[in-house]
Amino acid sequence: MGSGVRAQGSVGRGRFTRRDALRILAIGGVAGAGWGLGALGRAQPLSRSRVLMGTDVHLTVLGPDRDAAAAAAEAALREMARLEALLSRYRADSEVSRLNRQGRVDDASTALLDVLRLAERIHRLGDGGFDVSIQPLLDLYRRRREPPASLPTAEAVERALERVDQRALRIEGRRVTRTRPDLSITLDGIAKGYVVDGGVSALVARGFANVLVEAGGDLVASGDKGAGTPWRLGIRNPRHGPALEARFDARSRAVATSGDYMQPFTPDYAQHHILDPRTGRSAPELASATVLAPDAATADGLATLVMVLGPVRGRALLEDLPDCEGYLVTKQLEVVRTSGFHVIGA
């Protein structure tokens, strides 16, 4: 992201993470002296940052009462932390960890049920190209990245693939069970967006409709940045960061980007962390996929799915979905975008 915001974590030989994929061009203007009474009446920007979900979370809240905005921001961060505690596979006490360990959660939270139902819909949309039970494959590749690094063999991939099948999850009322003892799930490809949505909802519930919430590359630009002006965002070039690939305006939209450069396994980006759960291999066609959607959880899941589907099927899918758009960059750095994705200057 821009405006002095930087991400944690290293990827490949550089220090690019998912949250670098989208650069917020608006925050610097929001926080600067140009945002005075003439532009926004009495509205003033307030920013808060915190580490959640293993990444930096950033909130920008616009409102006339700074104390009320600060209280709302803290409430939003508490809500995001609560959701993380339920959905993170890195926490032993989370519902996801309990499901993986015990095979069932008898009184699942609304958060877990929401995310799993959305994951099921995205799984069906992409004919299995998105699958939350991909954890065995991710574990396999993670072990192979340790020295001496090597890609897993075809036989090892096939064995891991035998444990990938989201259809083995069952939701009955508030009970979630797995029908296979070897199934393990991760919500990394969708839960972060849901947590961002939760933060935005907490802010809106407290009367703050013009906010920007970002975590790990999943972003919601709610309302506008004042005086009817939309938030201006930029997409990072997947090969020449921090150069911008494109700029666009967003008002009450969620945005998420997935890219091969975020966790590459090989220097040429041919092998990377976005795996096709049907083949066990890295998605081969796209360098990055940016998706606009009504909410961040949907944008998050669709960005991952579109990377797997590739430019032709991915674009066609987004064209068919209401209120969804996409900006896709192929491995050859050719741009494929949906008809409703409006780029500034194009």
Residue 25 has pLDDT above 50, yes or no: no
Other Cβ atoms less than 10 A from the Cβ of 292: the count is: 25
How large is the greatest C-alpha to C-alpha distance in the chain, in angstroms? 66
Rounded to an integer, what distance in angstroms lies between the CA atom of residue 13 and that of residue 194? 30
What pLDDT digit, counting tens, does each position of 166-200 carry?
Answer: 999 999 999 999 999 999 999 999 999 999 999 99
Rounded to an integer, what distance in angstroms lies between the CA atom of residue 171 and that of residue 116? 9
Rounded to an integer, what distance in angstroms lies between the CA atom of residue 132 and that of residue 33? 45
- The pTM assigned to this predicted structure is 0.87
Phi-psi region of 22 (alpha: psi -120 to 50; beta: other; left: phi over 0): beta
What pLDDT digit, counting tens, does each position of 305-328 carry?
Answer: 999 999 999 999 999 999 999 999
Please name the residue that has the structure tokens 């650069």.
Answer: 23
What pLDDT digit, counting tens, does each position of 197-251 carry?
Answer: 999 999 999 999 999 999 988 999 999 887 789 999 999 899 987 788 999 999 9
Q: How far apart are the first and last CA of the chain?
A: 22
DSSP-derived 3-state class of residue 253: strand
Rounded to an integer, what distance in angstroms lies between the CA atom of residue 227 and that of residue 234? 21
Between the alpha carbon of residue 145 and those of residues 151, 258, 287, the distances in Å are 7, 20, 20
Give pLDDT, residue 36: 28
Rounded to an integer, what distance in angstroms lies between the CA atom of residue 96 and that of residue 184? 9
Give pLDDT, residue 146: 65
Edge-to-edge strand ranges of the sheet holding 169-172? 104-105, 175-178, 169-172
Pairing of strands 104-105, 175-178: antiparallel
Rounded to an integer, what distance in angstroms lies between the CA atom of residue 330 and that of residue 23? 20
Rounded to an integer, what distance in angstroms lies between the CA atom of residue 112 and that of residue 196? 15
Residue 5 has pLDDT above 70, yes or no: no
Nearest CA-CA partner of 122 in 273, 305, 326, 321? 305
As beta bridge partners, residue 236 has 244
Question: Which is more confidently placed, 41 or 346?
Answer: 346
What pLDDT digit, counting tens, does each position of 44-66 carry?
Answer: 899 999 999 888 999 999 999 99
Between the alpha carbon of residue 285 and those of residues 3, 41, 332, the distances in Å are 31, 48, 9
User: 296-309 vs 191-205: helix axis angle to the nearest 10?
Assistant: 160
Residue 301 has pLDDT above 80, yes or no: yes
**Which amino acid, one-letter code, is at 27?**
I
